[in-house]
């Protein structure tokens, strides 16, 4: 499989190494310093693009790939106000687009557990829910896309929660997300239900980028030859 890497930071390099170990070919490595090189690639040069760039670059990267007929796996967060536009373009070009806020298998199990716990907590209004997410200091967006997905899962289950807020005073109708940036932490997410008498907490801690990179590469392998808009539940099915 010929893979175009859009974004060649730490995640792009990790995906590259796993891809080469699995016998794939790197068709190109595009970042802010060589964006013009994208124009030199022909349609048949690329089987799939894997996009882990920056919020300000993601939309143009995805748009350009779909227009060229390349399916795209995107893991960049912080651009989702443009998601409907990208999905419309995917349908228009009859392309393939795969997005996840987090490609780790463990995190996607955590997403499911988070929804189940929120459903259980629906009948116990004495508990109030909040979240903390911790990432490395180079992460540009806050809250993380993973934290937003967790908050959306809670909102889907708790009728008194209609939105999330970040680093602000608690509001009765909102899920509070605290964002911390520390050292080289790959990612920690905590969902907490506090009452006057006790606390219930679930937590996911990532130890490295390997799990994210392997999941994104697996999504790329799965996406080749498909048309439509997909996510991790399509890839993993009922196993999560």
Catalytic residues: 135, 139
100 is in an annotated binding site: yes
Q: What are the distances in angstroms from CA 195 to CA 125, 172, 187, 214, 215?
A: 9, 14, 26, 38, 36
217 closest CA partner among 103, 128, 110: 103
Q: Judge whether 123 is annotated as a binding position.
A: no
- Cα gap 219→223, rounded to integer Å: 6
Give the whole-angstrom CA distance, residue 137 versus residue 139. 6
The answer to whether 146 is annotated as binding is yes
Task: Please check if 112 is assigned to a binding site.
Answer: no
Q: Is 145 annotated as a binding residue?
A: yes
96 is in an annotated binding site: no
Distance CA 107, CA 101 (A): 10
CA dihedral over 153, 82, 186, 97, signed as positive or negative: positive
DSSP string, 139-207: --SSS-HHHHHHHHHHHHH-TT--EEEESS---TTEEEEEEEE-TT--EEEEEEEE-SS-EEEEEEEE-
Contact partners, residue 167, CB within 8 Å, separation at least 6: 142, 177, 178, 179
CA distance 33 to 142: 25
76 known ligand binder: yes
Is-contact 141 77, C-beta < 8 A? yes
Residues placed in the known binding site = 35, 75-77, 100-103, 136, 145-146
Binding site, annotated residues for NADP(+): 35
- Residue ranges of the annotated binding site for NAD(+) are 75-77, 100-103
Question: Residues at the annotated binding site for (S)-2,3,4,5-tetrahydrodipicolinate?
Answer: 136, 145-146
């Amino acid at each position: 499989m010929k893979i175009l890497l859009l974004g060649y930071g730490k995640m792009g390099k990790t995906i590259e190494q796993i891809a080469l170990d699995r016998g794939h070919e790197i068709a190109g490595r595009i970042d802010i310093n060589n964006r013009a090189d994208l124009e030199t690639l022909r349609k048949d040069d690329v089987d799939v693009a894997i996009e882990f760039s920056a919020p300000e670059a993601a939309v143009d990267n995805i748009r350009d790939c779909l227009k060229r007929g390349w399916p795209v796996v995107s893991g960049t967060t912080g651009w989702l106000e443009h998601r409907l536009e990208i999905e419309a373009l995917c349908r228009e070009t009859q392309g393939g687009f795969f997005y996840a806020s987090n490609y780790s298998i463990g995190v996607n199990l955590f997403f499911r557990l988070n929804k189940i716990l929120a459903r259980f907590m629906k009948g116990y209004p004495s508990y109030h829910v909040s979240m903390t997410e911790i990432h490395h200091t180079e992460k540009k967006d806050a809250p993380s896309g993973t934290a937003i997905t967790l908050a959306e899962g809670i909102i889907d289950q708790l009728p008194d929660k209609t939105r999330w807020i970040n680093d602000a005073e608690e509001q009765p109708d909102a899920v509070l997300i605290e964002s911390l940036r520390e050292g080289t932490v790959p990612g920690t997410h905590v969902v907490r239900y506090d009452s006057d008498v006790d606390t219930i907490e679930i937590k996911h801690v990532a130890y490295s980028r390997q799990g994210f990179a392997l999941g994104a590469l697996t999504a790329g392998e799965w996406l080749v030859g498909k048309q439509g808009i997909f996510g991790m539940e399509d890839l993993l099915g009922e196993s999560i």
